[in-house]
Structure 1
């Protein structure tokens, strides 16, 4: 079995934060450095994203996000599987910022690039 690069919670947080912050023109190069060309993301509720769509979404988020703050509540990695729970404050153009809970599970390849991702995001209803 190949050895997988261990990821720290800080590295994971940096990956997530870079989706929403940064230069929209750098979306492709940033995606190339963090996800595989075979990337597939499933969102609870049926949305599916491949590599090209991920580049579009990252550029869109970066161009339209006015507020992004994230806190990792839970993080674990076992071999090539990563799981995390984040509480985020997200504000997109024309909308007030709101608190969101993001559940994230993924598989990474031997190079540490995200390959298969499952996400569920919902408005935060906690304390």
Structure 2
């Protein structure tokens, strides 16, 4: 059985939750929104399992000073979802960065993210 469709706003809220929130609540957030079988692959290398996701969410919530990620595109079929968004962020002492994020995932029967693939690339928003 496929989980219910997720709206662009709901996806934004999920993604924002990885960067914005109390670091102490990172495990609860991950448990609620990610399958215990969560696996994330980044294009170009890198793999994140559930425990590593908890660590990353805790870190991001600790050092993120700005995170804006409006969804530009979302499509779904059954338990599969694909999203495109642009991100403006400030992480730690770094200057503001902008990137395009391409995201594909499968969700479990409870709607939690399970198999995730991401590709991100820097963009120059002044070139628009």
Give the TM-score taking structure 1 as reference length. Answer: 0.96
Name the counterpart of 2:77: 78
Runs of 4+ in 1 over 6 A off after TM superposition: none
Q: Which runs of 5+ in 1 are unaligned?
A: none
Name the counterpart of 1:18: 17
Matches within 5 A, 1:41-60: 41-60=40-59
- Give the 3-state SS of the residue equivalent to 1:96 in structure 2: coil
* Alpha-carbon distance, 1:4 to partner: 2.2
Name the counterpart of 2:28: 29
Name the counterpart of 2:104: 105
* Alpha-carbon distance, 1:14 to partner: 0.3
Q: Give RMSD over aligned pairs.
A: 0.9
1:44-99 per-residue CA deviation (whole Å, 9 max, x = no partner) reads 11100000000000000000011111111101111000000010101111101111
Give the TM-score taking structure 2 as reference length. Answer: 0.95
Q: Which runs of 5+ in 2 are unaligned?
A: none
